[in-house]
């Protein structure tokens, strides 16, 4: 069985669904600011990231559209991998549009 990783690097400039905010990535607690939490004996850099969940390639849980149905943490991985799939060629043609119809 072959698995293809569709993960995306999350960056502040990544493409998101129109109208959704871009991810915000930054420092939550710097090395300098963290020292006081550990009596000056240790320091850490702690980053934070904020983004809406529907960005990049992702798996929708049934609860995304239907209240009361399974959430993402309730989906068994063995039921999500190794299933038959469909490949759709979404490349743009010379006119800049994508030629996809119901028969594809």
Whether 88 is in a domain gets the answer no
Assess if residue 71 is contained within a domain: yes
Angle CA(13)–CA(19)–CA(25) in degrees, nearest 5? Answer: 35
Structural domain contains residue 4? no
For residues 44 and 62, membership in a common domain is answered with no
Q: Indicate if 46 and 22 belong to the same structural domain.
A: yes
pLDDT confidence of residue 5: 73
Q: Is 3 among the domain residues? A: no
Residue 21 near residue 52 (C-beta atoms within 8 A): yes
Report the domain count for the chain.
Answer: 2
17 found inside a domain = yes
Nearest 5°: the CA angle 12, 18, 22 is: 15
The backbone region for 41, taken as left when phi is positive above 0, alpha when psi lies in -120 to 50, beta otherwise, is: alpha
pLDDT < 50: residue spans in the chain: none
Let me know whether 22 and 46 are in one domain. Answer: yes
Structural domain boundaries, residue 75:
58-82
Q: Are 57 and 17 in contact (CB under 8 A)?
A: no
In this prediction, residue 10 carries a pLDDT of 85
* Structural element, H or E, at residue 24: strand 24-29
Same domain, 68 and 40: no
Provide the pLDDT for residue 46. Answer: 94
Residues 47 and 64 in one domain: no
């Amino acid at each position: 069985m072959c698995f293809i990783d569709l993960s995306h690097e999350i960056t502040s400039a990544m493409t998101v669904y129109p109208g959704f905010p871009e991810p915000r990535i930054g420092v939550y607690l710097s090395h300098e600011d963290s020292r006081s939490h550990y009596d000056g004996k240790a320091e850490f850099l702690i980053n934070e990231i904020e983004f809406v969940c529907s960005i990049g390639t992702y798996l929708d849980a049934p609860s995304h559209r239907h209240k009361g149905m399974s959430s993402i943490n309730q989906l068994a991985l063995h039921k999500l991998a190794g299933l038959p799939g469909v490949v759709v060629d979404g490349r743009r043609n010379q006119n800049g549009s994508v030629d996809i119809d119901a028969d594809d």
